[in-house]
Structure 1
């Protein structure tokens, strides 16, 4: 074993030596000695640790953890990918894979079905959102050390037997895997006689082709205006963002510029194709989870005064990553540059190079934003995501809404609601009632939902300091009163965010009955953001006023 271990250690050392011999001296700013010194320290430590530690070690796991913890000091987008991670990234990029056809969340001891895709194997086998998979082909998920989600993957037409828990009852089913194709555009249709609606959910390799097809089809159906829905679109390929913009602007238009410390990564991206329509009015919907490529599209169309942006401030990711192949099938996805929209702004919201005392990235303060101008002279700003031309309060997640979502309370309540109401006659006429909202609040209370505000954290810290200064008896009474008032304030905040919470609950519940496809049809009738977009597009003078 020692011989094998030495070989594992020596191979990277030789590789590093070759790397430095070939490239290090070509880079003027490269601190060769310091890097070489730190590598030597680490390899020596790694060898001694694995050879001498009292228990048997797993060198691969130790190295994987060491690399990932090192990268945690940088931004969250610079990541090391082992062989399994590389495959997962390929799936994101292409949108194709072989599996059971469901969105799965890996928990500590089980796999949670988030959403079965209509017509795919998991759906055909009877799995539903909220099912907890505990065993795959005889392998207990709780005992599986790696990502248990990989247990569900396999070759086309192969079968897998899963055991799951639904509403406390254990069941089993056999699923026949198939090739899964994830559309970038899962839905497009007419909202009314003149307005087309396109949902673009991710910027994989199909994004611009499918968006272009949808745009042409809607125009053929009579669309005189377009709503492009980028809400909760996390981004993807920069090139596809450029191509989507190209559908609406002429060939040769600057879309995005990237700037890096490495000169070869400094690039300008222009549209290269003939557009489909440069005149059709466009409203782009965004929210706080619209990021990266979504922000390139919305930010560029805003800078060029080519579309009206509606919703809530976007996430604010102005960083560009590039994959770098490493040895043994692994990769490094590294942040190489910042991107800038045509007006010259970078919308990066978090400063990962300046962190607070807890190690969290600092958000760029509004006073530090810089103003830029669109083609028509409108003011736009950097530093905090894309700010909509029409900002809607109900599109913005509050602190308590975010906490409720992160706690999975909306998802879990939707599961509970579905099994309490197994049949709904007409989903497009269905609405949650005030009584349902009261039930949801009771559910939050019953399940022990709680979250700690920044104010509470500050008060707790002050209380601890007070104890060391022997002031606790004088302060304790006031402190308890403050905490009680804060708790009352949080309860009040749930009521104040009722409309948004009702909307989030409705979205999750509707998918249980009519899948995601049915949700988009429901949106066209009930969704407030789509109603606002339609209202803007129906009033030509109002639409033009936003852009001038």
Structure 2
């Protein structure tokens, strides 16, 4: 009830101190009357009152633009963790497979790793409550908590009849924004790939470490992968762009409602990578800070951009605190690239904006348009369905745990990047042996999965890519799994062609 009273008082004060009634002021009176009516007539609790107050604030903010929003205590904590690049938890990567919370991998050095939680384990209970049918994001929140607090898990492991019970103490878990970095294995030159999935307070520090590792091999070019990078810390995006630009070059401009908010960010220091050949990968999942980096380096002629048009999120949010753990993120300005391009896409028709609908000929309406438009690898219905159900992961995990007849004839030499089937060496980049593909289909049939028909066979070149990635990941780590199928990524292949000097259109 307190939440509703405070919000109603705040809105009414705006009405009474206004010079003359306006649509806003009249709306405030209507809200206050509705709040009073609910207070007198609705059956509710203190918790309901708080929820209603938050809902009213969310409704007002959503009417402004798509990116102004309320930070309630839960979302405020998530934002804080994302910005700091860390949280407190147990250190597992999880995937919800057919309502089963499955461990993809324990992170090395974390409580889950030390206590012996394994890839393929199914977490069936968290603190005595079933995980079945609970949304994955809610389960993630349950695994996180204050530093030093305890969480109790019940885990089902294949081959064991009874669940295993773990008691784990939460510790600081880093959120790495640089997901992967490796030498591109199919390139004729010494080219590196660095994948940046977000911008936190430690992004540039992680990027510098990745470049130090790659530069030891006399790097001749770099692919900076910003696909699915939704943005984050502006200062880190500016610092990353600075790594590739000469001192004094403009990176991004901000223009707000008030002139006092206008600001320009320029490269401030010299770096060893200012002349390194560079290609940036983007897609519609690239937004905000990642668009600032791509737009700056494209406008300054410093990088070639490959992929698909970016999201077009160029609004600046400023945080205004209502309480210590409740705030409003209000749009106060816009971002512009060095050439003056508006990054923000038109959101006059909100549904079209949210669905990423594009009319023909509106290439100048926000977002970063690539120099080379290249589509991503497209999966067929069988491949997409099997991936969504976690079947590639399940097979690879069974193969690794030597639970399949083929396991006795199969091994992996990670340092040499080779499979061995009956002692026959097969490079990671070679097509997956047909026998393994057939064994996978037999595995699916044993699980009751329909695999008959010509469509599954037509999709073999697609699903064997996913199968190979999961197998290599299980034996050699996720980074090696990505590298093993990197030659099947059309956008990365185009980037390599450009860096090797083959600039076909």
**What interval of TM-score do these two structures reach, taking the shorter chain for normalisation?**
0.7 to 0.9
Q: Is the 8 A contact 2:278 2:303 kept in 1?
A: yes
SS of aligned partner of 2:219: coil
Match of 1:534 in 2: 496
SS of aligned partner of 1:369: coil
Q: Is the 8 A contact 1:111 1:133 kept in 2?
A: yes
Displacement of 1:516:
2.7
Q: Is the 8 A contact 1:352 1:361 kept in 2?
A: no
Any residues of structure 2 matched to 1:244-259 within 5 Å, and which?
244-259=240-255
Q: Structure 2 vs 1, CA of residues 102 and 336 (structure 1 numbering), >3 Å: closer, same or farther? A: farther
Match of 1:120 in 2: 110
Stretches of structure 1 lacking an aligned partner (at least 5 in a row) = 26-30, 371-381, 450-487
Any residues of structure 2 matched to 1:328-477 within 5 Å, and which?
329-349=325-345, 351-355=346-350, 363-370=357-364, 382-383=365-366, 385-393=367-375, 395=376, 397=378, 409-410=387-388, 412-422=390-400, 423=402, 425-426=411-412, 428-429=417-418, 432=432, 436=437, 439=441
Indicate which of 134, 152, 156 corresponds to 2:143: 152
Q: Is the 8 A contact 2:97 2:388 kept in 1?
A: no
SS of aligned partner of 1:272: coil
Structure 1 window deviating more from structure 2 (516-525 vs 75-84): it is 516-525
Q: Is the 8 A contact 2:197 2:229 kept in 1?
A: yes
Distance 2:179 2:85 in 1: 12
Displacement of 1:319:
3.3
Displacement of 1:140:
4.2
Structure 1 window deviating more from structure 2 (225-234 vs 508-517): it is 508-517
Distance 1:73 1:105 in 2: 34
Deviations 1:60-92 (A, max 9, x none): 223334444555556553322211211111111
Distance 1:531 1:519 in 2: 17
Distance 2:31 2:97 in 1: 33
Any residues of structure 2 matched to 1:203-352 within 5 Å, and which?
203-327=199-323, 329-349=325-345, 351-352=346-347
SS of aligned partner of 2:199: coil
SS of aligned partner of 1:322: strand
Indicate which of 92, 101, 105 corresponds to 2:91: 101
Displacement of 1:167:
6.3
Q: Structure 2 vs 1, CA of residues 158 and 503 (structure 1 numbering), >3 Å: closer, same or farther? A: same
Stretches of structure 2 lacking an aligned partner (at least 5 in a row) = 403-409, 420-430
Distance 1:63 1:174 in 2: 38
Displacement of 1:278:
1.8
Q: Is the 8 A contact 1:109 1:134 kept in 2?
A: no
Distance 1:167 1:77 in 2: 44
Displacement of 1:186:
3.8
Displacement of 1:99:
0.7
Displacement of 1:243:
1.2
Displacement of 1:153:
2.2
Displacement of 1:47:
3.6
Match of 1:483 in 2: none
Q: Structure 2 vs 1, CA of residues 187 and 107 (structure 1 numbering), >3 Å: closer, same or farther? A: closer
Q: How many residues align?
A: 472
Q: Structure 2 vs 1, CA of residues 67 and 148 (structure 1 numbering), >3 Å: closer, same or farther? A: farther
Q: Structure 2 vs 1, CA of residues 418 and 106 (structure 1 numbering), >3 Å: closer, same or farther? A: closer
User: Aligned-residue CA RMSD in angstroms?
Assistant: 4.3
Structure 1 window deviating more from structure 2 (66-75 vs 13-22): it is 13-22
Distance 1:508 1:288 in 2: 25
Displacement of 1:21:
9.3
SS of aligned partner of 2:348: strand
Distance 2:316 2:209 in 1: 27
Distance 2:356 2:307 in 1: 24
Displacement of 1:391:
3.5
SS of aligned partner of 1:421: helix
Displacement of 1:266:
3.8
Q: Is the 8 A contact 1:103 1:116 kept in 2?
A: yes
Match of 2:154 in 1: 163
